[in-house]
Structure 1
Amino acid sequence: MNGIVVRDNEKFEKAVKRFTKICERAGVLSDVKRHRRYEKPSAELKRKKNARERKRLREERRKLRSYR
């Protein structure tokens, strides 16, 4: 579990900002969003496969642009 210790004379807003950054780096929000609903294993594989394909096409387009 992520946590912070509020320092002496530290403003509350600054402590919240620090906590938010720690949670962001740890990937807490993305993990919560991913586990919000159950995803069947086949649906997860399909989603990951589509993401790989989109990434491959994006890289391919970027390489083609650099050759021009």
Structure 2
Amino acid sequence: MTEITIGENDRIDWALKAFRRKVQKSGVLKELRRRRYYLKPSAAKRLKVAANRRRRRADERRAARGRD
């Protein structure tokens, strides 16, 4: 569970910012989005392979652009 402590002299907007940072760093929202619905293992694998292909193509384009 992500939590922060607020002192009496602390501002609420600073506390909110710190809380958001902690939640982002811990990956709670990412995990929540990932588990929003059930994804069959075969579908998850297909998505992962497609993402890897996209990433590889983008890397190749960047590398080709750098050689010119």
| TM-score, with length taken from structure 1 | 0.94
CA distance in 2, matches of 1:28, 1:51: 22
Q: In the TM superposition, what is the alpha-carbon distance from 1:15 to its structure 2 partner?
A: 0.6
Q: Deviations over 1:7-44 (max 9, x none)?
A: 23111121111000000011111110010001010010
Correspondence for 1:36: 36
Question: Unaligned stretches of 5+ in structure 1?
Answer: none
1:18-57 pair list within 5 angstroms: 18-57=18-57
CA distance in 1, matches of 2:64, 2:15: 46
Q: Which amino acid is 1:9 matched to?
A: N
Question: Unaligned stretches of 5+ in structure 2?
Answer: none
Equivalences, count:
68
Q: Which amino acid is 1:31 matched to?
A: E
Q: In the TM superposition, what is the alpha-carbon distance from 1:66 to its structure 2 partner?
A: 0.4
CA distance in 1, matches of 2:7, 2:29: 25
Identity across aligned pairs (percent)? 35
Q: How well do the aligned residues superpose, as a CA RMSD in angstroms?
A: 0.8
Q: Which amino acid is 1:26 matched to?
A: S
Q: In the TM superposition, what is the alpha-carbon distance from 1:65 to its structure 2 partner?
A: 0.2
